[in-house]
């Protein structure tokens, strides 16, 4: 038998039907659902008189719209439109009988944090959600990707997706990371290398010593942003770190089933000599703490760099860079560490997990954030919040001057009241620096949690290595 | 779903690269629970001032492109989120075909579910169509899906590739779910097998 990649193996294990032209029906093991991209899909089912094929494999949680302030169960805290979407999810989840974590449930949070936390996401699974950051679950060696609302309806009705296989891409990070360099810097550095279209048509497998050394939280950060590089999904082969994270979670297999699952999971790796259509290799030692300067996640530079000049680029990117520099209110040649910020946002499905919050606490412990700065920490789930409080992190944050919020997507995409105002500049641990992403005419610099914490203390983009 | 067979119309040029889904339809307009009515907010932040007045320089506000049915766009069009509101807005505006050197993966599949034909062509051919689109409303292109051909206003013919299954669905306006449900037996047999092999799933 010819050697297979990890992606080949998971794909082959989920083809329920293959047509002559290679179009497949891929079976979906877990379908995660949130309030923004699902109402039209449930309505479609209703209109066609269809039911949810596998409600037991379907998990719903509101996250995009929900306020993150105390007392949010008071509907007055949401706009009328947000309330309609959250209420629609509530109604649809109950009517179609899917698993559901309402706003009032301590387990509620960002769908991509709740899935792994509750043990819904397991190695070798196919996981989809009407959200591009579904790539996050690839950290478990699960084939996970975002889908549109029509596909959400298709999965609800049939538990399958009509798919053609993508190509295989390997991203290897060799060696060790230097102090101050994190999973976020890895994933941004890779996008800086490949561009936001570099992964289009591929499923990425991340490998190498620096990836192996990451915790599950770090691996989720890396895979989360595979989509920002254009890839359909990002994958990391499961190992002892994965099994240790999964073991004992509420929906993880137990007893004999655990043993059976483990036996299969241990076959989920890329065979020696398997073919990759594209390979990118970075040396872990070469990766520095990075920051984005522009309005695309590919606009990445080491924190020691300067704002580029549009003429540094080629083709269509010249105009895009000119537009980005103007939008961001920067000057070519300006040192990145001279850029002053108004806001710090720590959270999102990229960096809203416990390890991220610990990294922030380590930097800000016993210190105060810059006067006049707005700094917000939004845990990824109610359970992350509870754990941070138990570990004493929340106290450190509040003493330093951070707002300590309830769980949700919050200012990552600013669909709830957490938004930047016009011209405001933010150091954010989220995943997208697009124009208007965090608020109309708001300006976003993507960074790691430690770098965001450093920026909160100084009021400027800051090299975390100077604070270690 | 509306069928897509053959279309002759005005093409609007948008040479900017990496046009993302947040530009196509900003999140402020994702709060509807309907599939329709997004066209007026297509490219909202590029198209309107904060007071709702139009930005005259934006391509779709120019008189010659107000009824454009084709978009010729820069590389990596539709990158970012999975929001199907992006193709809903494009279709609702009246655009039925987008041409670029590449598309983001999820956006690309979302188009086909909404009667929009995304066409990938090499840079030189996109440049040629972009130049044709720059000429305004007198330059009408024809997109023929059956023949897989674009004819420029000068009569030049450009061939394009499209997945055979997706082509058929567009030509016939087929409902995916209905088709998949016809293969229900295969899915049930897969589920039966998996209940034995991977019961923990």
Residues 6+ apart with CB under 8 A from B34: A40
Of B33, B113, B187, nearest to A85 by CB-CB distance is: B33
Tell me the shortest Cα–Cα distance from A274 to chain B, in angstroms: 24
Q: Quick one: which of A435, A413, A426, A410 has its CA closest to A375?
A: A426
Helix (H, G, I), strand (E, B) or coil at A382: helix
**Count of domains for chain A:** 3
Chain B interface disruption, residue of A54, A197, A225, most B CBs within 10 A: A197
Looking at the partner chain, which of B15, B80, B181 has a beta carbon nearest the beta carbon of A158? Answer: B181
How many whole angstroms separate alpha carbon B152 and alpha carbon B139? 8
Kind plus residue range of the DSSP H or E element containing A27: strand A24-27
Any residues with CB less than 8 A from the CB of A153 and at least 6 apart, and which? A40, A41, A42, A44, A45, B177
Distance CA A149, CA B176 (A): 13
**Which pair of structure tokens corresponds to residue A32?**
């995660």
Interior/surface letters B127-145, b for 16+ CB within 10 angstroms, e for the rest: ebbbebbebbbebbbbbeb
Paired with B6 in beta bridges are B144
Model confidence band, residue A76 (pLDDT cutoffs 50, 70, 90): confident
Count of beta carbons in the 10 Å neighbourhood of residue B29 = 17
Compute the nearest-CA separation of B152 from chain A (Å): 22
pLDDT at A245 over 90: yes
In this structure, the answer to whether residues A133 and A175 fall within a common structural domain is no
Residue B175 has pLDDT above 90, yes or no: no
Residue A203 pLDDT > 80, yes or no? yes
- The answer to whether residues A335 and A382 belong to one domain is yes
- A451 contacts: CB under 8 Å, gap ≥ 6: A184, A289, A291, A303, A427, A461, A462, A464
Alpha-carbon distance of B136 to B159, in angstroms, equals: 22
pLDDT (average), residues B81-87: 96
What pLDDT shows up at residue B88?
A: 97
Q: Which residue in chain A is spatially nearest to B198 when comparing CA positions? A: A261
Min mean pLDDT across A59-63, A82-86, A321-325, A331-335 is at A82-86
> What is the domain extent for residue A188?
167-239+269-286
**Domain limit, last residue, from A260, A286, A312:** A286
Q: How far apart are CA A266 and CA A250, in angstroms?
A: 21
- The single residue listed with the structure tokens 């989120």 is B81
- Contact state of B33 with A315 under an 8 Å Cβ cutoff: no
Of B18, B180, B183, the CB nearest to A196: B18
> Which chain B residues touch A440 with a CB distance below 8 Å?
26, 28, 45, 50
B15 chain-A contacts, CB cut-off 8 A:
316, 319
pLDDT of residue B137: 86
- Residue A26 belongs to a domain with what CATH number? 3.30.499.10
Q: Distance between CA A414 and CA A437 in Å, rounded?
A: 7
A195 neighbourhood in chain B, CB within 8 Å: 76
Write out chain B residues lying below 8 Å of A197, CB-based: 18, 75-76, 79, 102, 104
Q: Is residue A321, in this structure, part of any structural domain at all?
A: yes
Half-sphere exposure for B103 (CA within 13 Å, toward CB):
23
Predicted confidence band at A72 (pLDDT cuts at 50, 70, 90)? Answer: confident
Min Cα separation B104/chain A (Å) = 6
The neighbour count for residue A83, using CB atoms within 10 Å, is 15
Q: Quick one: tokens of A440? A: 């109309």
Q: Which chain A residue shows the shortest CA-CA distance from B200? A: A253
Encode pLDDT of B36-76 as tens digits. 999 999 999 999 999 999 999 999 999 999 999 999 999 99
Percent of chain B having pLDDT more than 90?
A: 93
How many whole angstroms separate alpha carbon A107 and alpha carbon A117?
9
Distance from CA of B31 to the nearest CA of A (A): 6
Contact across the interface for A316 and B15, Cβ inside 8 Å: yes
Q: Tell how strand A15-18 and strand A24-27 pair up.
A: antiparallel
Burial code (b: 16+ CB inside 10 Å, e: under 16) for A330-341 equals beeeeebbebeb
Alpha carbon distance A100, A448 (integer Å): 31
Residues A295 and A428 in one domain: yes
CB-closest option in A40, A195, A227 to B34: A40
Strand partners, A357: none
DSSP single-letter state for residue A268: -
List CB contacts (< 8 A) between A25 and chain B: 180, 183, 186-187
The 10s digit of each residue's pLDDT in A350-394 is 999 999 999 999 999 999 999 999 999 999 999 999 999 999 999
pLDDT (0 to 100) of residue A148: 97
Same domain, A310 and A218: no
Residues A314 and A451 in one domain: yes
- Determine whether the interchain pair A37/B82 forms a contact, defined as Cβ–Cβ distance below 8 Å: yes
Size of interface A-B (CB pairs under 8 A): 185
Tokens representing A75 are 């509907």
Q: If phi over 0 gives left and psi between -120 and 50 gives alpha, with beta otherwise, what is residue A66?
A: beta
Instruction: For residue B114, list chain A residues with Cβ-Cβ distance below 8 A.
Output: 150
Test B82 with A130 for CB contact under 8 angstroms.
yes
Partner-chain contact A230 B104, CB within 8 Å: yes
* Token couple for A168: 């295989």
Q: Nearest CA of chain A to the CA of B128: how many Å?
A: 15
Determine the Cα angle at B75 with ends B71 and B150, to 5°: 45
- pLDDT tens column, A271-289: 999 999 999 999 999 999 9
**C-alpha A170, offset from chain centre:** 20
Which residues of chain A does B186 touch, with a Cβ-Cβ cutoff of 8 Å? 16-17, 25
HEC profile of chain B: CCCCCEEEEEEEEECCCCCEHHHHCCHHHCCCCCCCCCHHHCCHHHHECCCCCECCCCHHHCHHHCCCCEEEECCCECECCCCCHHHHHHHHHCCCEEEECCECHHHHHHHHCCCCEEEECCHHHHHHHHHHHHCHHHCEEEEECCCCEEECCCCCEEECCCCHHHHHHHHHCCCHHHHHHCCHHHHHHHHHHHHHHCCCC
DSSP output for A157-173: HHSEEEE---EEEEEEE
Tell me, yes or no, whether A112 lies in a domain: yes
Task: Enumerate the residues of chain A whose CB falls inside 8 A of the CB of residue B104.
Answer: 197, 200, 230
Domain co-membership, A276 together with A310: no
Last residue of a domain, one of A164, A192, A208: A164
Nearest to A189 by CA among A206, A166, A167, A169: A206
To the nearest whole Å, the CA of A217 is away from the closest chain B CA by: 22
The C-alpha angle B106, B112, B116, rounded to 5 degrees, equals 110
pLDDT band at A79 (very low <50, low <70, confident <90, very high): confident
| A332: in domain | yes
**Tens of pLDDT, residues A399-451:** 999 999 999 999 999 998 899 999 999 999 999 999 999 999 999 999 999 99
Tell me the nearest-neighbour CA distance from A210 into chain B, angstroms.
Answer: 27
Q: What is the pLDDT of residue B139?
A: 85
Nearest CB partner across the interface for A320, out of B16, B32, B103 = B16
The reply to whether residue B83 touches residue A436, judged by beta carbons under 8 angstroms, is no
Asked if B176 lies within 8 A of A162 by C-beta distance, the reply is: yes
For residue A393, give how far its alpha carbon lies from the nearest alpha carbon of chain B (Å): 32
**pLDDT number for residue A78:** 84
The confidence score (pLDDT) of residue A152 equals: 98
CATH code, domain with A279:
3.40.1060.10
Q: Name the residue facing B79 among A81, A197, A319 (closest C-beta).
A: A197
How many other C-beta atoms lie within 10 A of the C-beta of residue A156?
Answer: 27
CB nearest to B200's CB, from A39, A232, A257: A257
Question: What's the whole-number mean pLDDT along residues A62-84?
Answer: 88
Q: Which residues contact B192 (CB under 8 A, 6 or more apart)?
A: none
End-to-end CA distance of chain B: 34
Helix (H) or strand (E) holding A444: strand A443-446
pLDDT at B35: 92
Q: Residue A258, Cβ neighbours under 10 Å: how many?
A: 16
Which residues in chain B touch residue A230, judged by CB atoms under 8 angstroms apart? 76, 79, 104-105
Is residue A177 located within the same domain as residue A213?
Answer: yes
Joined together, the tokens standing for residue A208 give 């190498």
Taking chain A, what is the end-to-end CA distance rounded to the nearest angstrom?
Answer: 51
Min Cα distance A279 → chain B (Å) is 19
Domain boundary residue, one of A164, A193, A209: A164
pLDDT at residue A75 tops 80:
no
DSSP A177: P
| Cα gap A105→A93, rounded to integer Å | 14
CATH number 3.20.19.10 given to B6-174: yes
- pLDDT tens readout for residues B130-166: 999 999 988 899 999 999 999 999 999 999 999 999 9
Angle at A294 between CA A424 and CA A400, to 5 degrees: 45
Angstroms from A421 CA to nearest CA on chain B: 12
Nearest to B23 among A48, A201, A435 (CB): A435
Least Cα separation, residue B127 to chain A (angstroms): 11
Query: What's the pLDDT band for A340 if we cut at 50, 70, 90?
Result: very high
Q: Which residues of chain B make contact with A140, given a CB cutoff of 8 A?
A: none
Q: What is the pLDDT of residues A136-170, one digit of tens each?
A: 999 999 999 999 999 999 999 999 999 999 999 99
Of A148, A154, A160, the CB nearest to B187: A160
**Chain B residues with CB-CB distance to A122 below 8 A:** 200-201
Count CA within 13 A, CB hemisphere, residue B122: 4
pLDDT of residue A108: 98
For the record, the structure tokens of B59 come out as 């391509």
Dist. CA A423–CA A188, nearest whole Å: 24
CB contact (8 A) between residue B186 and residue A17? yes
CB contact under 8 A, A200 and B102: yes
**A324 & A369 share domain:** yes
Tell me, what's the pLDDT at A275? 98
Yes or no: say if B122 and B107 are a contact pair by the CB < 8 Å rule.
no
Let me know whether A124 and A42 are in one domain. yes
Shared-domain flag, residues A279 and A139: no
| Encoded tokens for A426 | 């933010």
Do A206 and A77 lie in a common domain? no
**pLDDT at A202 (0 to 100):** 98
Contact A296 B190 (CB under 8 A): no
Same domain flag for A319 and A280: no
């Amino acid at each position: 038998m010819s050697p297979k990649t990890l992606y080949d193996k998971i794909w082959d294990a989920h083809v329920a039907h293959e047509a002559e032209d290679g179009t497949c029906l891929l079976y979906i093991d877990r379908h995660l659902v949130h309030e923004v991209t699902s109402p039209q899909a449930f309505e479609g089912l209703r209109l066609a008189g269809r039911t949810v094929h596998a409600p037991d494999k379907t998990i719903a949680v509101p996250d995009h719209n929900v306020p993150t302030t105390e007392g949010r169960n008071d509907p007055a805290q949401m706009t009328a439109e947000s309330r309609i979407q959250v209420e629609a999810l509530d109604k649809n989840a109950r009517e179609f009988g899917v698993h559901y974590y309402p706003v009032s449930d301590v387990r509620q949070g960002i769908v991509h944090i709740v899935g792994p936390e509750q043990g819904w996401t397991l190695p070798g699974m196919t996981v989809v959600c009407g959200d591009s950051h579904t790539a996050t679950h690839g950290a478990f060696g699960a084939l996970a990707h975002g889908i549109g609302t029509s596909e959400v309806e298709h999965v609800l009705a049939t538990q399958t997706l009509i798919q053609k296989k993508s190509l295989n891409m390997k991203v290897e990070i060799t060696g060790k990371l230097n102090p101050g360099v994190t999973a976020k810097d890895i994933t941004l550095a890779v996008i800086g290398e490949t561009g936001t279209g570099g992964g289009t048509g591929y499923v990425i497998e991340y490998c190498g010593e620096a990836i192996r050394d990451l915790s599950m939280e770090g691996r989720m950060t890396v895979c989360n942003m595979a989509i920002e590089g254009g890839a359909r999904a990002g994958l990391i082969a499961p190992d002892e770190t994965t099994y240790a994270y999964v073991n004992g979670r509420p929906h993880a297999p137990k007893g004999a089933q655990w043993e059976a699952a483990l036996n299969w999971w241990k076959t989920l790796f890329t065979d020696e000599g398997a073919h990759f259509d594209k390979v990118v290799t970075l040396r872990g030692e070469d990766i520095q703490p990075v920051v984005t300067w522009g309005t695309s996640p590919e606009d990445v530079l080491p924190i020691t760099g300067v704002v580029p000049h549009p003429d540094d680029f080629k083709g269509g990117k010249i105009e895009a860079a000119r537009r980005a520099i103007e939008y961001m209110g920067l000057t070519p040649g300006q040192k990145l560490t001279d850029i002053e910020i108004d806001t710090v946002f720590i959270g999102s499905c990229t960096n809203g997990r416990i390890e991220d919050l610990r990294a922030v606490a380590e930097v800000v412990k016993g210190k105060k954030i810059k006067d006049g700065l707005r700094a917000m920490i939004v845990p990824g789930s109610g359970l992350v919040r509870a754990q941070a409080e138990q570990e004493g992190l929340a106290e450190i944050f509040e003493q330093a001057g951070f707002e300590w919020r309830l769980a949700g997507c919050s200012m990552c995409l600013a669909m709830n009241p957490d938004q930047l105002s016009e011209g405001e500049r933010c150091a954010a641990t989220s995943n997208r620096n697009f124009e208007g992403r965090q608020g109309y005419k708001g300006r976003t610099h993507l960074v790691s949690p430690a770098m965001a914490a450093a920026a909160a203390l100084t009021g400027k983009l800051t090299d975390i290595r100077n604070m270690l | 779903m509306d069928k897509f067979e053959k279309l002759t119309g005005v093409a609007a040029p948008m040479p900017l690269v990496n046009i993302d889904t947040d530009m196509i339809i900003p999140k402020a307009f994702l709060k509807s629970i309907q599939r329709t009515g997004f066209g007026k907010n297509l490219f909202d932040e590029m198209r309107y001032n904060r007071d709702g007045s139009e930005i005259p320089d934006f391509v779709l506000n120019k008189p010659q492109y107000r009824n454009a049915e084709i978009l010729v766009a820069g590389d990596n069009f539709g990158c970012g989120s999975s929001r199907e509101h992006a193709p809903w807005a494009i279709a609702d505006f009246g655009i039925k075909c987008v041409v670029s050197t590449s598309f983001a993966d999820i956006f690309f599949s979302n188009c086909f579910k909404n009667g929009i034909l995304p066409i990938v062509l090499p840079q030189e051919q996109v440049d040629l169509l972009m130049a044709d689109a720059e000429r305004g409303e007198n330059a009408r292109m024809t997109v023929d899906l059956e023949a897989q051909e674009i004819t420029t206003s000068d009569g030049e013919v450009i061939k394009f590739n499209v997945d055979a299954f997706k082509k058929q669905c567009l030509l016939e306006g087929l409902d995916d779910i209905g088709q998949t449900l016809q293969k229900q037996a295969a899915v049930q047999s897969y589920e039966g097998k998996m209940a034995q092999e991977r019961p923990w799933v």
